[in-house]
Structure 1
C-alpha cells in the first residue's frame, strides 16, 4: 500500500497486495465475513475487467463487491471498501 495523507493508505496496485490476499481472506473469515476473489475467463477473453472480490456477513451491513483489471487492483479496491465499511483490515 502506498502511504496516503488520509486515515488509511491508498490502494497501490504495484504494492504486492496480491501477496497477502490469502491472509486477508483468512482474517475476514475469522471476523465472520464470507469472502472470495475470482477471475472470470469470459471477461478476460472479452478484454473486460475480469477480477471480482465479494464479501458479506459478519460486521458488514449487506454485501459488497469490488472489481479490478488485475488481482492487485481488485484487492486494493476491496481493501478500501472494507475500511470504508468499518473493518480495520490489518494488511
Structure 2
C-alpha cells in the first residue's frame, strides 16, 4: 500500500480487527517493522491459543509477541502492545 492512499480503516480492538490484519502488517512494514501472524495446528488440537503475532525492528525496542485463541483476539492484543510501545497504528 502506497503511503498517503487513505486506506487506513478504523476498527475497535474487539470487532473486525481480523479484517484489517493485512493492511496492519503492510503499514508496519512501511515503518521498518518486520511482522507476521501465524496459526499453529498443534496448539489448536491441544486446545491452547493457536494464533501468534510477532514483530521486531524499526521503532520497536526489541521484539514482541501476542497470542490468542482467534485471529481477532491475537491482533487485538498485538495492537494494544504496539500502541504501548509507541507505535500509533492507524487502524
Secondary structure of 1:32's partner?
coil
Partner Cα distance (2:53, 2:18) in 1: 12
Structure 1 residue runs of 5 or longer lacking an equivalent are: 3-10
Residue 67 of structure 1: how far off its partner (Å) = 0.4
Q: CA-atom RMSD, angstroms?
A: 0.8
Map 1:1-91 onto structure 2 (within 5 A). Answer: 1-2=11-12, 11-12=13-14, 15-91=15-91
TM-score, with structure 1 as normaliser: 0.87
- RCO higher in structure (CA 8 A, sep ≥6): 2
Residue 25 of structure 1: how far off its partner (Å) = 0.1
Q: Which runs of 4+ in 1 moved over 6 A?
A: none
Structure 2 residue runs of 5 or longer lacking an equivalent are: 1-10
Q: Deviations over 1:22-73 (max 9, x none)?
A: 0000000000000000000000111111000000000000000000000000
